[in-house]
Amino acid sequence: MFVTDDDVAHWELALLPLRGVARLPVLIPLAWHLRQRDSVRAAALAEEALALLPYAGLEPETRSATTARLQLAQAEILWVSGELDAAEALANEAFEVLCGLQDHTGCADAHWLRGWIAVDRGRHEERDQELALCAEAARRGGDEVRALTAEAVMARWAVLRELHSARERWSGHFDAIDPPPGLAAWINDFHAMAASQSSDFGTSASLYIQSHECALQTGQLRCAIIAATNTGEKFSHLNDHHAALEWMQSGLELARRTGWPRNIGACLVHTADTMRRLGRLDAADELLREGLAILGRFEHARVYGIALQYTGDLCLERQDYAGALEAFQLLAGRAEALRQADFQMVARRGQAHALCFLDRPTEALAMAHQAVELSLSHRNVYNHIAALRVLALIHRMHPLRAPDGMTELNASLHYLHRALDLVSTIDGYTVPGDLYETLAAEYARLGDYKQAYEMAQAASKALEKTHSLEATSRAIAMQVHQKTEQARAEGAHHRELAMAEARRAEVLAQSSAMLERLSAIGQEITTHLDAGAVYEVLNRHVHELLSANTFSIYLIDGARLSRAYGVEGGLPLPKNTVPLDHPQAWSARCVRERREVYVDNASFERSVMVTPGTSPSVSALFVPLLLGERVLGVMTVQAMHAGAYGERERLIFRTLCAYGAIALDNANAYRQLQEAQSQLVSQEKLAALGALMAGVAHELNTPIGNSLLIASTLEQKTNELEQQLNGPGLRRSELAGFIADARKASELVMRGLHSAADLVSSFKQVAVDRTTEQRRLFNLQQVTHEIVATMMNRIRAAGHRIEYEVPDAVGMDSYPGPFGQVVTNLINNALLHAFDQREGGNMRLTAQLLVEGRVLVAFSDDGGGIAPENLGRIFDPFFTTKLGQGGSGLGLSISYNIVTTLLGGQISVVSSKGGTTFTLDLPLVAPHQDPARPATIY
């Protein structure tokens, strides 16, 4: 599950010389073990591995298991990044595959990740279940270390629920093993948590430091960050706030480097509490606000409860008692939901403190006694002392009945002395001077000045001891830091020696196999048909094989050379042109003379030879891009030191240029082919729009023609009525008949004109969407109605039927025009292919919401289906079984491209003799479409 940095370093070295599918056996473990060390790189390696898997020739089961393992790595990266929904969905998907394959180790890792996702969601019963299943699956797979790791985490959470039952269950469980560092991180974390809950803060801090070091060594950065903040918290409890702040800042710096929101928020609130203890209330408030804003998405997790606790403590410090009460009441709710005793004690103590100052003594007293009872039942001395001091405060401020068994002058002194007695039971704990000062003030208030003086002296001694112990604690902390840094430096030194030795061996191996490697590189370069990809591959190999501060490719553009690609010092170079007849430019000379130019030690007396604003190179090599008799341009590689390119290096670069020329020429030919295809696709779209217009015009003829016929009939009857009125006279029955005919005629006219208006409106919207392809908010049901309305003429003319069922509440932020193009293409495809010239075919279009943020659109027909041998090719451009019979082979290809790129979804198809169903899985919010430095000798 976790390996040391040495193992990762060996994989990194092993990956360097590998190319193509040969990288896969190293990519997989490296992506897995970098998932927290370097999440961004791990994600990139996982994507590369997934892209290579189809070409690796693996058995289906092995390929599925490997895919699921990589998905687990991606899910963990999403989890630490705070994307809990996406992480859970991907982890569940991988889990189903791994369980189906009986991969017990993989299932254990999936349970592990799902358990931690449950932690951040505040679902602690689910967490315990997942961790228990993780241990069980690991043992079925014969991996005892994985099982013990899960159990160590179960133990640390059990401590927070109930310390003594957790100790009875787990304390001796890990004693008989010599754990590897990855497991040791969690065993130390468990023991540190148990020591903390027993108020043994010195032991707890030491164990957390060990956990932190083991976690760092094994790439468990989240565990390391949490251990750092917990170490700081223990130093705070020992009144060494400066050492605490150092650990908090260490954890925060590590968290900020990762960019993980949950850990950044947690470190901010822990640092805020340390600032509060140091008296820097404004800084504490600022950090708390920032932390709470980040942790809002984790409101059900324990870390949010910690933020509430610290908010309440800060409000008490600032005498904002209403704010404190609100914070501790919220904490009480989280404590009950999480079933964590430390929160329950703190929440009751904090509420009691706030209620005391809000003049609600009875409620305050009840809450304080609950806090005392909880701390007694859990034997938590630290919280017991805090609750006793709150009881003393309540009795000092309010006239209340004395407690049973009181032996002091008043209740306040009674509880303060009980707190003082408990302090002596905490190993390594320094009695805070303010406890003695509170006792002194209370004795003075009662007139017992002798006792007040003794307590004041004790307070002075306690403060001196505190300062002494602070220095001692800092010295111990520095000693621990020195030892750990020394061990870390020694380990890094040994790793560097090993890597240097490996590099030397690698250089020898590369020398003996250079020709073979260049051949493999050439195959990789020439497989790309995109010029940009060719540039990137060439750049990567140039920097792997040669000393290169600058790498550029110039292509001939009329009478000049234009820089098509350029990188200097890892940064892109600006666009640049060089006239082909330039008398001093080495790049132009290289093209004119069709031979390579090598500058071994350049003298830059003439500024014209350097691109303005770029670094002057010392060595430079220019090689023409030759393809037979044609010159495409020139490639150049440049270094900042003299003599960078010997014969071996020039041979390598010459070979790369030859492959580059072939690949760029192929890319240019492919681009021209794509342009031709694009023109055909545009013609297809225009033809579809023209057919749409013709269909709508035909559809309008019926309602408009009927309306004209009825209107002319009504006109004739009106003339007859006028003649009767002006002639012999008009009978009542004739007038009544005319009115009835007029009413019926107007109803028919209105119905026909409304039908025409609806068709025109639908057509207008569809036409606008199709021609502009604008993104907008739209109702899926309305757009579907408009699309179907514009297609009804073709469907009825062919003797078929279509029905649709789309919920009214589905709103989308997407591209209605391209969506309509897809649906139209599916309907046209069914009309052309599905029914084989028979009438009475049925088509159905449905939509349903699935998970949050996605909709499933299905189009089906009851036709003859797609032949199995054609099913895998239907989305290929220009593939059709009706060539010359109305089929262009572009409809489904266009649909596939629209769905998978512009709409950001997926399209799939299932087919049988009973019909075909196309399924579109679309996001409700489509992805947004995205509408340089130095160089060199030229």
pLDDT tens-digit series, residues 779-831: 999 999 988 988 888 888 889 999 999 998 899 999 998 999 899 989 988 98
* 646 and 628 Cβ atoms separated by less than 8 Å: no
More confident residue, 835 or 520: 835
Predicted pLDDT at 607? 41
CA distance 643 to 637: 13
| 804 SS3 class | strand
- Angle of CA points 237, 240, 246, to nearest 5°: 105
More confident residue, 876 or 932: 876
Predicted pLDDT at 296? 85
By percentage, how much of the chain surpasses pLDDT 70? Answer: 86
pLDDT of 673 higher than 50: yes
Q: Which residues, listed in sequence order, are joined to residue 555 by a DSSP beta bridge?
A: 562, 633
How far are the Cα atoms of 155, 169, 178, 194, 623 from residue 173, in angstroms, in the given order? 10, 8, 12, 14, 68
Q: What is the pLDDT of residues 169-222, one digit of tens each?
A: 888 899 888 899 999 999 999 999 999 888 788 888 889 999 999 999 999 999
* 112 and 142 Cβ atoms separated by less than 8 Å: no
pLDDT of 755 higher than 70: no
More confident residue, 704 or 191: 191
More confident residue, 162 or 686: 162
- At 6, the amino acid letter reads D
Predicted pLDDT at 768? 44
CA distance 449 to 440: 8
Predicted pLDDT at 838? 85
pLDDT band for 152, please (50, 70, 90 cuts).
very high
- Angle of CA points 932, 934, 938, to nearest 5°: 115
pTM for this entry: 0.48
Q: What is the pLDDT of residues 602-660, one digit of tens each?
A: 765 444 456 655 678 888 999 999 988 889 999 999 988 888 898 888 888 998 999 89
CA distance 274 to 263: 17
* 535 and 565 Cβ atoms separated by less than 8 Å: yes
Predicted pLDDT at 769? 47
Predicted pLDDT at 606? 42
pLDDT band for 62, please (50, 70, 90 cuts).
very high
Predicted pLDDT at 612? 58
Backbone φ and ψ of 644, nearest 5°: -75, -25
- Indicate if the alpha-carbon torsion angle 267, 273, 278, 280 is positive or negative: positive
Predicted pLDDT at 937? 44
DSSP calls for 25-77? HHHHHHHHHTTTTSHHHHHHHHHHHHHHGGGS---HHHHHHHHHHHHHHHHHH
The alpha-helical segments, DSSP class H, found in 773-812 are 780-797
Predicted pLDDT at 61? 93
| 844 SS3 class | strand
Task: Find all residues with CB under 8 Å of 444, minimum gap 6, and list them.
Answer: 452
- CB burial of 231-254 (b: ≥16 within 10 Å; e: otherwise) equals bbbbbbbbbbbebbbbbbebbbeb
Q: What is the pLDDT of residues 545-585, one digit of tens each?
A: 888 889 999 999 999 999 999 999 888 998 889 999 998 89
Predicted pLDDT at 460? 82
Question: And the tokens for 33?
Answer: 């073990």
By percentage, how much of the chain surpasses pLDDT 90? Answer: 40
pLDDT of 494 higher than 70: no
Q: What is the pLDDT of residues 411-465, one digit of tens each?
A: 888 888 888 888 777 665 667 777 788 888 888 888 888 888 888 888 788 777 7
Average pLDDT over the chain, rounded to an integer: 84
* 455 and 443 Cβ atoms separated by less than 8 Å: yes
Predicted pLDDT at 889? 66
pLDDT (average), residues 264-271 = 90
Q: What is the pLDDT of residues 65-95, one digit of tens each?
A: 999 999 999 999 999 999 999 999 999 999 9
